[in-house]
Amino acid sequence: MKKPLQFDFNRALNRGHVSYNASIGKWWENQAADSSHQRAYRFVAEYIRDRMKRKSSGTTGPLIVDYACGGGYVLMQLAKMMPTARIVGLDGSHKMLALAQQRLEQSGVSCAILPTDQAFASNGPRVRLVETRLPNFKLPKGKADAVAFVFPNIAPGPKDQPVYDRHGYKHRADTIVAKMLARFREMDPEDEVVKDDPDTLFDGYMSERVLARNIHGLLKPGGMWFKVDYANALRSELSELSQWRCLFSECALEAPIKEKNSELLFKLRDNVFRTSKVIFDVYHQTKDPSDKEGGYFITLFEGV
């Protein structure tokens, strides 16, 4: 494994999406190219392919969106495994998209960086790349059969907050539930690993819900969202509070919290876990020894 670049992650990520044009982007390319990540990308693409086969209908290929596609490794695997699919890669970094285009073309996959309207059209190259800030609620709605969000790490900058405020960050019912979940503590003290204060937790939950809301808008009714997260175990092995927090952040919490309901946009359909050294991505940022063990899981949601 290559030695990771050394820098202040929090300071770098505070710049928002443009951070991936500089130090964060260099670090991520270094990480994404290693064998552990490559195996993970293949497994993720295989999982998406197999799940979409089960739901396939009609003769036309599906439209898949890779949300925050980065340097294009998942795009490349999906293009190879799903030859009839149209694939749209969205990312806010022009450097990441240039790498994705180069990588795809070298693999013999037709692709182009296009304006949004052309990227979602029925005709065009198999892989279409779009440079855009995320979330972006002006993207075409209800077009995608599936969205992949792999190892999400979108950090909004201060200038992005008005977009979040307009698209759910201040949703009244959601904020009530978010504040409760941020204040709750584990029944078993050994399960309590939360190190952030309630305000920071609240901000994280509500920001992630805005991204989930944006992804939901891209999907056709009943479309599939494949979310890949760093993890230490299956979701079902997490504490009940951790499961509530995850599902709330993903707009998939069906159970009321103290008789208060949050907006439901997705239903949890499946979760698979794989041990992998990709977990070291987390350790490089936290320096917490507990983040050296684990891997990742893929969660499948269906839009409601």
Are 108 and 147 in contact by the 8 Å Cβ rule? The answer is no
pLDDT of 155 > 90? The answer is no
What was the pLDDT predicted at 189? 58
pLDDT digits (tens, 9 = 90+) for 244-286: 999 999 999 999 999 999 999 999 999 999 999 999 999 988 8
* pLDDT of 195 higher than 80: no
Q: How confident is the model at residue 208 (pLDDT cuts 50, 70, 90)?
A: very high
β-pair type (144-150, 63-67): parallel
pLDDT score of 297: 97
What is the rounded distance in angstroms from the CA atom of residue 68 to the CA atom of residue 151?
A: 9
Looking at the DSSP assignment, which residues form a beta bridge with residue 225? 147, 301
Percent share of the chain, pLDDT over 90: 77
Alpha-carbon span 32 to 223, nearest angstrom:
27
Confidence class for position 59, pLDDT limits 50, 70, 90: low
Compute the distance between CA of residue 222 and CA of residue 219 in angstroms, rounded to an integer: 8
Average pLDDT over residues 41-55: 94
Q: What is the pLDDT of residue 54?
A: 79
Is residue 53 predicted with pLDDT exceeding 70?
A: yes
> In the predicted model, is pLDDT for residue 190 greater than 60?
no
Cα 126 from Cα 107, distance rounded (Å): 13
